[in-house]
Amino acid sequence: MSSLFEHGLIRTAAVERVVAPIASHLCHLVLLCDGAEDPEHFTQLEGAAQAVAKATENMAAEASRVIRDTEDEVLHMEMSSLFESVTVSGQHVLLAAQKLNIQPSLTEHREELITATQNVFLGVVKVLLVDDDANIRRVVAASDQVLECLSDLGSP
């Protein structure tokens, strides 16, 4: 992922502050899960899952702050339904990793961990899309105001 940032392909504050840390923790979690054969790996797996849970809590806290500070009713409505599910999905990753640590031989626990990590990514994407939509609404409203001002200036 660092190559994407270094070459400027993905360079937004949201990606740097939110997506990159969560993606990094999830990738670490997946790598640990793939190589987890002995009990020590499963302990590390639980630590990585705790990092994912903390990162989703941080994202939810930021989404909550955005909701508090916004006058955009659409953003408020759409974001309100998302930030709690992001936190829950992060906690589900931690729970699945703990189950896997306790019973590493059960494939259901690995599948649960995979599903939980997918849900984290899906939740993050939804939050970022809602935020992008709000930014687009602000840009469109500002451009409408500029066009109106230019039209007023051009009128005799």
Length of the chain: 156
Q: What is the CATH number of the domain that holds 135?
A: 1.20.120.230
44 vs 76: CA distance, rounded Å: 37
Domain that holds residue 81: 2-154
Give the per-residue SS3 of 87-118.
HHHHHHHHHHHHHHHHCCCCHHHHHHHHHHHH
CA–CA distance, 72 with 79 (Å, rounded to integer)? 11
Measured between alpha carbons, how far is 107 from 85 in angstroms, rounded to an integer?
25
What does DSSP assign to residue 16? Answer: I
Residue predicted with more confidence, 78 or 45 = 78
Lowest-pLDDT choice from 13-17, 25-29, 66-70, 78-82: 13-17
CA–chain centroid gap for 15, Å, is 9
Q: Residue 31 — pLDDT band, cuts 50, 70, 90?
A: low
Per the structure, the count of domains in the chain is 1
Type of residue numbered 137: R
pLDDT, position 95: 93
45, pLDDT greater than 60: yes
Task: Please tell me the predicted confidence (pLDDT) of residue 130.
Answer: 84
What pLDDT score does 65 carry?
82
The arithmetic mean of pLDDT across residues 137-144, rounded, is 88
Residue 11 has a pLDDT of 46
Q: What is the pLDDT of residues 90-135, one digit of tens each?
A: 999 999 988 888 887 788 888 888 889 888 888 888 888 888 888 8
Q: What is the pLDDT at residue 34?
A: 64
